């Protein structure tokens, strides 16, 4: 059957469920379920994927397709590890990738950002995610094929092999690292002095203010000096779809953030910071960096200043 692949702009970071449904059978379209939940939610994303997912989707495990040399959760893997994992998922550079999650727009934005960090711009988040897909009446697969399970397992095993220095299978995906999209602890420290970038934190206001606990045990709440709070949920509507551009601009304006000046984002562990990047992408800001270690890394340091409001 001839492809019905309608063009979708790389300026627009999301696709609709109707677009995905119309293009689902295209061989150059790969769909990833990147569901992930906070520790205190006690949800198992792999089990949920196996019980219900978009037809043809493979599971992308952000906790395991990650840097194996740190205790920090789901940090960006090396180029070699990412290439090995994505190749095991049968994704090549020619492919378009659509990422979704079980909440609407949450962890899918992290995987969208990861692909862009490694030089792949043909990537979109499914607007409204699995809830919107289901609400629209589209088919759900209620069991995962052994092939799908094998591919997802192969992806996480490939990452482990790379970090253990073992050979991995054929590589179908070539990375092109974009260092300006990722910030380190040292860059954030330097920015407190230099103030060259506006720093936006995507966590809830109570966590930012230090009056509500962090979801990870042993991490105090509060924020990095000089940062401003725009909770990621403020960029989404009641259906968990991304707000229109003018509404997104309003949210940043309300917090005194200039869209003409450089911006970097953070959150708890580098997941919802990527939702802010998604929203900023919609309004034409395409090179926003994420502080990968985010508040968890910052709070664990003995020599970093922490503020509460």
Q: In this structure, are strands 198-201 and 182-183 parallel, antiparallel, or unpaired?
A: unpaired
Q: Which DSSP helix (H) or strand (E) runs through 228?
A: strand 228-229
Same domain, 257 and 152: no
CA distances from 278 to 44, 111, 309 (A): 25, 11, 27
d(CA 129, CA 20): 11
Buried b (16+ CB within 10 A) or exposed e, 213-238: ebbbeebebbbbeebebbbbebbbee
Segments in the chain below pLDDT 70: 1-7
Residues β-bridged to residue 174? none
Q: Calculate helix-pair angle for 108-117, 273-282, nearest 10 degrees.
A: 70
User: Dihedral of the CA atoms 273, 107, 18, 282 (nearest 10)?
Assistant: 10
How many domains, in total, are found in the chain? 2
- pLDDT at res. 255: 96
Residues 21 and 126 in one domain: yes
Among 16, 2, 14, 12, which residue's Cα sits nearest to residue 138? Answer: 16
Domain finish residue from 121, 136, 163 = 163
Options 62, 123, 126, 267, the catalytic residue? 267
Claim to verify: residue 73 and residue 190 sit in the same structural domain: no
Q: Which of 163, 197, 229 is the last residue of a domain?
A: 163
Query: Is residue 229 among the annotated active site residues?
Result: no
Q: What is the pLDDT of residue 2?
A: 37
pLDDT at residue 1 in the model: 33
Do 127 and 153 lie in one domain? The reply is yes
| Rounded alpha-carbon distances, angstroms, from residue 254 to 40, 206, 232, 248, 251 | 31, 18, 14, 10, 5
With b for 16 or more beta-carbon neighbours within 10 A and e for fewer, the 248-268 pattern comes to bbebbeeeebeeeeebbbbbb
| Residue 57 covered by a domain | yes
For residue range 28-83, what is the model confidence (pLDDT) as tens digits? Answer: 999 999 999 998 899 999 999 999 999 999 999 999 999 999 999 999 999 999 99
Res 5: pLDDT? 59
119 lies in the same domain as 191: no
Give the CATH number of the domain where residue 246 resides.
3.40.250.10
Q: Is residue 1 part of a domain?
A: no
**Coil, helix or strand at residue 264:** strand
The range of the structural domain enclosing residue 151 comes to 14-163
Provide the H-helix boundaries in 27-145: 45-51, 79-88, 108-117, 129-135
* 84 and 159 part of one domain: yes
Put the strands of the sheet holding 198-201 in their side by side order: 182-183, 289-291, 263-266, 198-201, 228-229
């Amino acid at each position: 059957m001839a492809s019905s692949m309608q063009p979708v702009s790389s300026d627009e970071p999301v696709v609709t469920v109707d677009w995905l449904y119309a293009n689902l059978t295209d061989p150059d379209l790969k769909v990833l379920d990147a569901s992930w939940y906070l520790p205190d939610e006690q949800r198992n994303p792999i089990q949920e994927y196996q019980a219900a997912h978009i037809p043809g989707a493979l599971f992308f495990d952000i906790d395991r397709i990650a840097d194996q040399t740190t205790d920090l959760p789901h940090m960006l893997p090396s180029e070699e590890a990412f290439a090995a994992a994505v190749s095991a998922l049968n994704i090549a550079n020619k492919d378009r990738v659509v990422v979704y999650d079980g909440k609407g727009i949450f962890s899918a934005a992290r995987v969208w950002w990861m692909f862009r960090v490694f030089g792949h711009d043909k990537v979109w988040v499914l607007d409204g995610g699995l809830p919107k897909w289901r609400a629209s009446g589209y088919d759900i697969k209620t069991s995962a094929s052994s092939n799908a399970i094998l591919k997802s397992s192969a992806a996480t095993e490939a990452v482990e092999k790379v970090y253990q220095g073992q050979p991995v299978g054929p590589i179908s995906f070539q990375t092109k690292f974009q260092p300006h999209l990722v910030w380190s602890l040292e860059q954030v420290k330097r920015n407190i002095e230099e103030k060259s970038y506006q720093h936006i934190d995507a966590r809830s206001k109570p966590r930012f203010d230090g009056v509500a606990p962090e979801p990870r045990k042993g991490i105090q709440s509060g924020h990095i000096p000089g940062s401003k709070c725009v909770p990621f949920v403020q960029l989404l509507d009641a259906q968990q779809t991304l707000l229109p551009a003018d509404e997104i601009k309003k949210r940043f304006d309300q917090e005194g953030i200039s869209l003409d000046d450089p911006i970097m984002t953070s959150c708890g562990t580098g997941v919802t910071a990527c939702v802010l990047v998604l929203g900023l992408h919609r309004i034409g800001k395409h090179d926003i960096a994420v502080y990968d270690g985010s508040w968890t890394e910052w709070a664990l340091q003995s020599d970093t200043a922490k503020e509460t409001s």
